[in-house]
A and B are shown apart, each in its own frame.
Chain A
Amino acid sequence: MRSNFTVLIALAGFLFFTPLAYAQGENHEEIQHEQAHHEDAHHAEVHDEASGEKDIKGVIKETIEHHLADSYEFHITEGVGFPLPVILVDGGLKVFLSSEFHHGGVAAVDGAHYKVNHGKIYKTDAAGTITYDDHHHPTNDKPLDLSITKNVFMILVMAVFMFFLFRGVAKTYQTSLAPKKAGRFLEPIIIYVRDEIAIPNIGEKHYKKYMSYLLTVFFFIWFLNLVGMTPLGVNVTGNIAITFSLALMTFIITQVSGKKDYWMHIFWMPGVPVLIRPVLAIIELIGLFVKPFSLMIRLYANMLAGHVVIMSILGLIFIFSSWVAAVPFSFLTLFLSVLELLVAALQAYIFTMLTSLYFGAAVEEHEHH
């Protein structure tokens, strides 16, 4: 009982201090970043030019944006981190480490020069000049970017981690029926996904085919949401490209497994007057695309909003710049962090739940009267 309590205190402490530590790290890096790009017209907006002092609100806004965005290096805190490979297709494959950008912000590879501007790589001259059009969009060429960015790196790490974790768990069942090691923790969750999500929505007859996808999606989203809450500062599930891919997979699997009844209910709804059927077909067709679209937006927006709220409240500490403000806002951050742990699991649950609901609709067999 006593040891449980100690663990709880340690966990609370961890949750309490990690956002602080990482806000500090991010902020510091941002200041360096600021100094490096002082001449950059776009960055100059956050400077109070008259007094030469930094506008704290602008810095906080940039810090949050920087945290939410993908990046070419894995930056944890000041001086801790490592570069990731940049892969460009620009008249041939060009592979180099993102640390090349540290030499004055311009990477010189095989006679071509590249520069990162607002998270995107542009082709520049040796001095790294970026020209803008009237709408402040760069007019430089943009090579096709297939880089292993921070998000891609985290996805790969998570894939390897999940592979070994679940393979290990599966192996223990060969020797005994009782779960062992990590299986003790994971078995109830896997059974929950099967008995409470898959079977009621898809049905006893078809659910087995979809279990592998549902479990993968559930644990992938859940684990990545949780990793997003650590000081590593990754925001994978809060990236619309990643939630788009997840929703696209659900969409394809749903359409591929669609049975005769499913298509019938879309294009020629049985049981309604014939005149209404074409109207319903249009609505159902739109619904076909709205469903995965809402899956994509829901996960993306929830995770993004969680990160923004937590970091904004941490930003308030710096705006008030006082210990008096730090105490309540830190506790508020602790509260929201714990809430985010719930949201992390809830969003994984909802995504899996709605996915299985769509699969269930696709394979459902109606009794004809």
Chain B
Amino acid sequence: MEIPEIVGAGLIVIGAGLGIGRIGGSAMDAIARQPEAAAKIQTAMIIAAALIEGIGFAALFAK
């Protein structure tokens, strides 16, 4: 049985979503522990999220 390409794209998007969710959650934890470092954590969070997001989009458009 052949699996359609879109299933693979969906799996990648699920993975990317979980990844970004984890980054966001961890950043929340970190900010709650050290509110004074919020600005630095936020920057690092956005960069990491942006890198994963790129993969998600690549999967969608490669489909």
Q: Is B47 an interface residue (CB 8 A)?
A: yes
Are B50's CB and A297's CB within 8 A?
A: no
Contact B47 A297 (CB under 8 A): no
Within 8 A of A (CB), among B19-63: 39, 43, 46-47, 50-51, 53-54, 57-58, 60-61
Q: In the complex the two chains form, is A298's CB within 8 Å of B46's CB?
A: no
**CB proximity of A202 to chain B, nearest CB, Å:** 14
A301 in contact with B60 (CB, 8 Å): yes
Q: Is the CB of B61 within 8 A of A350?
A: no
A298 contacts B47, C-beta separation under 8 Å: no
Which residue of A has the minimal Cβ distance to B49?
A: A350
Inter-chain CA distance A169–B8, complex, in Å, is 50
Count of chain A residues with Cβ under 8 Å from any Cβ of B? Answer: 13
**How many angstroms from the CA of A294 to the CA of B52 in the assembled complex?**
10
A226 to B15, CA, bound (A): 30
- Determine if B43 and A297 form an interchain contact, defined as CB atoms under 8 angstroms apart: no
Are A346 and B47 neighbours in the complex by a CB distance under 8 Å? no
Describe A's contact surface by its main secondary structure.
Answer: helix
Indicate with 1 or 0, residue by residue over A341-369, a CB within 8 angstroms of chain B CB atoms.
00000100110011001000000000000
Inter-chain CA distance A294–B61, complex, in Å, is: 13
* B47 lies within 8 A of A357 (CB): yes
Cα distance, A294 to B43, chains bound together (Å): 18
Q: Within the assembled complex, what's the spacing in Å between the Cα atoms of A354 and B48?
A: 11
Q: Which listed residue, B39, B43, B53, B60, touches A298 by the CB 8 Å rule? A: B53
Q: In the complex, which of the residues A294, A353, A357 contacts B54, with contact meaning CB atoms closer than 8 Å?
A: A294
User: A298 to B61, Cβ gap below 8 A?
Assistant: no
A-B CB contacts (within 8 Å), total count: 32
Interface size class of B (residues with CB under 8 A): 10 to 19
Q: Are A350 and B57 in contact (CB under 8 A)?
A: no
Q: Contacts of A346 on B, CB cut-off 8 Å?
A: 46
Q: Which single residue of chain B is at the shortest CB-CB distance from A298?
A: B54
Report how far A294 CA is from B47 CA in the complex, Å: 12
Q: Is A18 an interface residue (CB 8 A)?
A: no
Q: How far is A52 from B53 in the complex, measured between Cα atoms in Å?
A: 43
- B47's nearest neighbour on chain A, judged by CB, is A353
Within 8 A of B (CB), among A218-248: none
By a CB distance below 8 angstroms, the chain A residues around B39 are 196
Contacts of A350 in B (CB 8 A): 46-47, 50
Q: Which of B43, B46, B51, B57 lies at the interface centre, i.e. has the most chain A CB atoms within 10 A of its CB? A: B57
Shortest beta-carbon contacts, A-B, top 5? A301-B57, A294-B54, A350-B50, A298-B54, A297-B54
Binding site for B on A (CB under 8 A): 196, 294, 297-298, 301-302, 305, 346, 349-350, 353-354, 357
Task: List 30 A-B residue pairs with CB atoms under 8 Å apart, sorted by A's residue number.
Answer: A196-B39, A196-B43, A294-B51, A294-B54, A297-B54, A297-B57, A297-B58, A297-B61, A298-B50, A298-B53, A298-B54, A298-B57, A301-B54, A301-B57, A301-B58, A301-B60, A301-B61, A302-B57, A305-B57, A305-B60, A346-B46, A349-B46, A350-B46, A350-B47, A350-B50, A353-B46, A353-B47, A354-B47, A354-B50, A357-B47
